[in-house]
Each structure stands twice: as C-alpha cells, then as structure tokens.
Amino acid sequence: MVREGKFDCIIVGVGGQGSIFASGVLGETALREGYAVISAETHGMAQRGGTVEVHVRIGSSYGPLIPLRSADALVGMEPAECLRFARYLSPKGTAIINTHVVPATGRDYPSVGDLVQALEATSGRVIAYDATRLALEAGHSQTLNVIMLGTLAHLLPLSTLEDVIAEYVPKKALEANLRAFKLGQKVVKA
C-alpha cells in the first residue's frame, strides 16, 4: 500500500461508466488479501448520466469519506468529473484520468488539455489517456472501468485483482475484461 498498509481512492465518473463496479472489485480484492475496507458512494441521477462518486478506504480505521487533500488516488472515468473531485487528491497523490469526454447537455466544456494541466498543478502525478478507446480495443466500451483498474493496479500490491475481476464479470464478457485489465496495466509500463 502507499502509506503503511493504507490506501484511499476516489473513483468518479458519470452513470453507466462502471464506477460502482470498479469500487466493488477493488474493495473485494483488498478484503480477500486481509485489509479492512470501508466505502461510500453517491450516485443521485446516475441513471441519467449524472455524477457517480465512490470513496474506497483500504486499511483505514476512520469513516468512509476521504478527507479533502488526502486521497492517494483519484480515478476519473470522465475528465470534468475528475477535475470536480480533485480537491480530495493529496498533493502527492496520483490522478488517473480518461481523456474521453462525456459532456452533460448544455454545459460549456473546457479543453481536456486544460483539465489535465489543472490536475498536474494540484497532484503528484497524472496519468491521462483515452481509456474509452482502449476499452473498444479490448472488445467493448463497458470495459472502461476495468481498463482504469488495470492502471490503478500499479499503485497497489493487490495480487488477486485480476482474479476478482474474472469472478465478477459475466462469463460472456470475461475475455474482453481480461484484455482490458492488461491494456490498462500497459499504460503505466509504456
């Protein structure tokens, strides 16, 4: 873990991107490997493309909500949502951002370059790439969340993450999700 057996991660996106699934897999993996896990989610109008925010605390003895400026990682499946929740990221934390835009109707959208620059100014590291394109390369756009988990995996010593993904996804989607996980890992290695 990043800090003596502790790791705080916020996963954000919009409805349908799989933020809750990703947090469930992350939490289950940590539990199986002997860590205490607590999480909290908000997903108001997620079914209509609204914001989804999930706090996952591994090894923490405190409440489920991560304090401002203290998250070890921020996983943003949508760029503007990632920036909206950047206030939780530690100055030493890592932001993993999908650069593919899913804008809300009628909203002025800043350039992705500006969003990435703003994240770079407030965090220790930013990993920005088009995870949606990689999900399509893996075989299905719904593997976006697993692509992001693959990238997040480099921050965690959770050796069974891929095994838990294999258990949680439907059998018909297993191959695409395993490809997605490996593609997400390759982003960091590239």
pLDDT-above-90 percentage for the chain = 81
Q: Which residue has the higher pLDDT, 190 or 5?
A: 5
CA-atom Rg of the chain in angstroms: 15
**Whole-prediction pTM:** 0.93
pLDDT, tens digit, for every residue of 41-84? Answer: 886 654 556 789 999 999 998 999 999 999 999 999 999 999 99
pLDDT of residue 109: 80
Domain 7-189 annotated CATH 3.40.920.10: yes
Banded model confidence at residue 157, pLDDT cuts 50, 70, 90 = confident
Reading the block at residue 148, the tokens are: 């992001």
Contacts (Cβ under 8 Å, ≥6 apart) of 160 = 29, 32, 33
Handedness of CA 30, 32, 33, 37 (dihedral sign): positive
Question: In the chain, where are the structural domains located?
Answer: 7-189
pLDDT of residue 105: 46
Can you tell me the mean pLDDT for 122-129? 95
